[in-house]
Amino acid sequence: MLGFIAVLLACPPSVRAEDGYKLWLRYAPLAPSLAATYRAQFGAVEAPTETATQRAARDELLRGLAGLIGESPRRGEGAPTVVLGTPASSTLIAAFRDELDALGNEGYLLKHTRVHGRDVLLIAAPQDVGVLYGVFDLLRRLQTGQSLEALEVREKPRIRLRVLDHWDNLDGHVERGYAGRSLWDWQTLPEWHDPRYTDYARANASLGINGTVLNNVNANARSLAPEYLAKAAALADVFRPYGIRVYLSARFSAPIELGGLSTADPLDPAVQRWWQHKVDEIYRFIPDFGGFLVKANSEGQPGPQDYGRTHADGANLLADALAAHGGVVMWRAFVYAHDVPADRASQAYTEFVGLDGAFRPNVIVQVKNGPIDFQPREPFHPLFGAMPRTPLMMEFQITKEYLGFATHLVYLGTLYEEVLQSDTRARGAGSTVARVVDGSLEGHAFTGMAGVANIGNDRTWSGSHFDQANWYAFGRLAWNPDQAARDIAADWVAMTFSPAPEVVRPIVEMMMASREAAVNYMTPLGLHHLMARGHHYGPGPWVEGGPRADWTSVYYHRADRDGIGFDRTASGSNAVAQYAPAVAARYADITQVPESLLLWFHHVPWDHRMASGRSLWDELVARYSQGVQQVQAMRATWADIPTAAPEHQRGRAPLYGADPAAIDPERHAQIAASLQIQRREAQWWRDASIAYFQSLSGRPLPAGEPTPPHPLAWYQAQQFPSAPGDGR
């Protein structure tokens, strides 16, 4: 004990206050009793250091142990030796070859056992990267205070491609980014390798994320020009030891823009040759290049349909060029066209379902979680379960384009979980989206999950401390899509703030309720796409006119004097018919559809009776108010979390780990301020939405509901031309 305290006091004062940079890898000192328990379980570390990945694994373990439990003088005395390695790197681990074989290329084994009379703690894997993942897993157990007694863990990812999509432009602007500018400094690459690139890779590897698409889906062809390939190659070199491959978004018309051809027709032999040469060139720069992500024929992007070809023709063109190198194509199904009058929610399905089975084996179709566009709540996308012969990968949005940007505390783990656990009924009950995405439903080995990154050069990485949790939750679910959002949140809180139950419990509760709060104050009861035009900051339920109907709010809510909601049943767009019959029947029946999706599928009279006994109008108002109250409750919860005394008051380095129930004042204050912003904006959403919908319904507010403080025109007049993250 004394030794431990001495170690703590000897720590040099931290040069920076807690600013969130360390993410969930803070490795802050554990409470003394816990640290002492763990110290007795870690002896000497035996680790190979031949390869960069091996060194990364060893260094991470040493860094984690030093931070969490300190450099113990007792280490090595009687405690199990920690042995890291693969059958190739360690003769001791070679004896476990049979056990390891079942774990695939990325799995690992953690095991406390005896070998030749020695007490050992194994971090073993078939490949180096598995050892790295195993190190992170073990450290997570320490960070969250779990017992290591009788440790025996076998893990392997359920999904093959676990990818972040960066919507980063070459000029550093991040489309829908709320965390500063792009992390990639294209200007100083390839020479300068910002240490931050390594920390980015560490953070991703700690979750098992194994791919990164560097550039925006609204792609600039120049990303494929040699000067940018050299820069991307430098990033790939930094990421490689951490098991992360680099991918690029490809602009379909690049043969014209870069190659000077007159066409990008996928069936034109010159176009095919151009792509083949381009791909061969990319692999000269990046030998383990992952492949392309493509947005085609959507929102003005070029694509195969410009030449009368199909999405399959376009995807296969690129797939053929990549195949010999082992590269893949992630072809997006986020496709809708302004000249198609059909309900936008139905267009991707209509476009793709007939192409089932028409794609090359190295193509995976990337489908957004819902049929519109990352709304606070959507039903699952009807393509999941509808293309059994085609691998489909999930696309979630981690950045909160439609959820209040970085300042609103909205934990997305529950959103992801809700989608993944939705039952498509494609092969009867239990055909969850998770089983479509992990390939088990249809027997696909080629599987993937992408998250649109919320990462920028802000010190917090994600624009706020709590947005880190969404990156974290995405990564954990990409590894295992059946994990519980609550458990993931609990791990994140323990690692990011403190494992003390009096910290973890209230913060997890707050996170778990946070997404529903946002749904309530923005788009309750199945409403969607009511944000302001363009930048999507703040309420805009009145948005109408402009270049296209399906970029307006009135298109989606269809409110008038009599009622509100989008009729997607047989009497309306009939988009509901795109679901399996059992699902469609439930959603189409106004008595069975969950109230959370009521106005997504039905146009409903204002005096429709809700489960609460209220009229729809009264319920809508109540939900808006409830959302504001929920944010108020989050503020109260946060205010009750104790903070440690600031550094200057103690006159020495902060030892937050020594007071595990306290959060450092720096992050505490910043989060309190964010919640204040969120409270103000939730109120704004409520008041503006009620003012607008009341102008249509003509109904009085229920008793006790305050009247919005401004007339509707005031809300409509608010302009935010400089809101961050716009698309351009």
Binding footprint of ligand GCU on the chain (CB under 6 A):
175-176, 217-218, 295, 299, 334, 373, 401, 727
Q: Is 155 a catalytic residue?
A: no
- Whether residue 443 contacts residue 435, with contact meaning beta carbons closer than 8 Å, is answered with no
Beta carbon nearer to ligand GCU, 373 or 666 = 373
| Separation between Cα atoms, residue 370 and residue 224, nearest integer Å | 30
Between CA 320 and CA 578, with CA 453 as vertex, the angle to 5 degrees is 65
| Separation between Cα atoms, residue 142 and residue 82, nearest integer Å | 14
The separation between CA 357 and the C-alpha centre of its own chain, rounded to angstroms, equals 28
| Separation between Cα atoms, residue 243 and residue 116, nearest integer Å | 32
Q: Residue 373 Cβ, how far from ligand GCU at the closest point, in Å?
A: 5
- Whether residue 374 contacts residue 479, with contact meaning beta carbons closer than 8 Å, is answered with no
Residue 342: how many other CB atoms lie within 10 Å: 14
Q: From residue 180, give the alpha-carbon distance in Å to each of 409, 532, 549.
A: 18, 21, 31
Q: Residue 218 Cβ, how far from ligand GCU at the closest point, in Å?
A: 5
Beta carbon nearer to ligand GCU, 425 or 536 = 536
Q: Residue 146 Cβ, how far from ligand GCU at the closest point, in Å?
A: 38
Q: Which residue is nearest to ligand GCU (CB)?
A: 727
Beta carbon nearer to ligand GCU, 217 or 559 = 217
Catalytic, out of 106, 320, 373, 664: 373
Tokens at 262, concatenated? 């007159």
- Produce one character per residue of 201-237: b if its CB has 16 or more CB atoms within 10 Å, e if not: bbbbbbbbbbbbbbbbbbbbbebbeeebbebbbbbbe
Q: Is 299 a catalytic residue?
A: yes
Beta carbon nearer to ligand GCU, 26 or 400 = 400
Q: From residue 440, give the alpha-carbon distance in Å to each of 333, 416, 436, 443, 480.
A: 21, 19, 7, 5, 12
Positive or negative torsion for Cα 606, 524, 591, 436: positive
| Separation between Cα atoms, residue 167 and residue 99, nearest integer Å | 40
Residue recorded with tokens 């146009």: 603
Residue 45: how many other CB atoms lie within 10 Å: 17
Q: Residue 230 Cβ, how far from ligand GCU at the closest point, in Å?
A: 27
| Separation between Cα atoms, residue 524 and residue 528, nearest integer Å | 8
Q: Residue 677 Cβ, how far from ligand GCU at the closest point, in Å?
A: 22
Q: Residue 264 Cβ, how far from ligand GCU at the closest point, in Å?
A: 19
Beta carbon nearer to ligand GCU, 167 or 228 = 167
Beta carbon nearer to ligand GCU, 121 or 372 = 372
Catalytic, out of 299, 306, 509, 705: 299
Q: Residue 397 Cβ, how far from ligand GCU at the closest point, in Å?
A: 8
Nearest to 370 by CA among 166, 560, 568: 568
Between CA 78 and CA 81, with CA 80 as vertex, the angle to 5 degrees is 110
Reduced to 3 states, what is the DSSP secondary structure of residue 510? helix
Catalytic, out of 106, 343, 401, 664: 401
Q: In the 8-state DSSP scheme, what is residue 608?
A: P
Contacts 24+ apart (CB under 8 A), 355-358: 355/310, 355/311, 355/312, 355/387, 355/390, 356/386, 356/387, 356/388, 356/389, 356/390, 357/389, 357/390, 358/310, 358/312, 358/316, 358/390
Q: Residue 332 Cβ, how far from ligand GCU at the closest point, in Å?
A: 7
Q: Is 373 a catalytic residue?
A: yes
Q: Residue 340 Cβ, how far from ligand GCU at the closest point, in Å?
A: 16
Nearest to 507 by CA among 353, 655, 661: 661
Nearest to 670 by CA among 413, 460, 472: 460
Q: Residue 526 Cβ, how far from ligand GCU at the closest point, in Å?
A: 20
Beta carbon nearer to ligand GCU, 32 or 727 = 727
What are the beta bridge partners of residue 34? none
Residue 570: how many other CB atoms lie within 10 Å: 11
What secondary structure does DSSP assign to 643-661, as a single string?
BPPPHHHHTS---GGGSTT
Residues forming the active site:
299, 373, 401
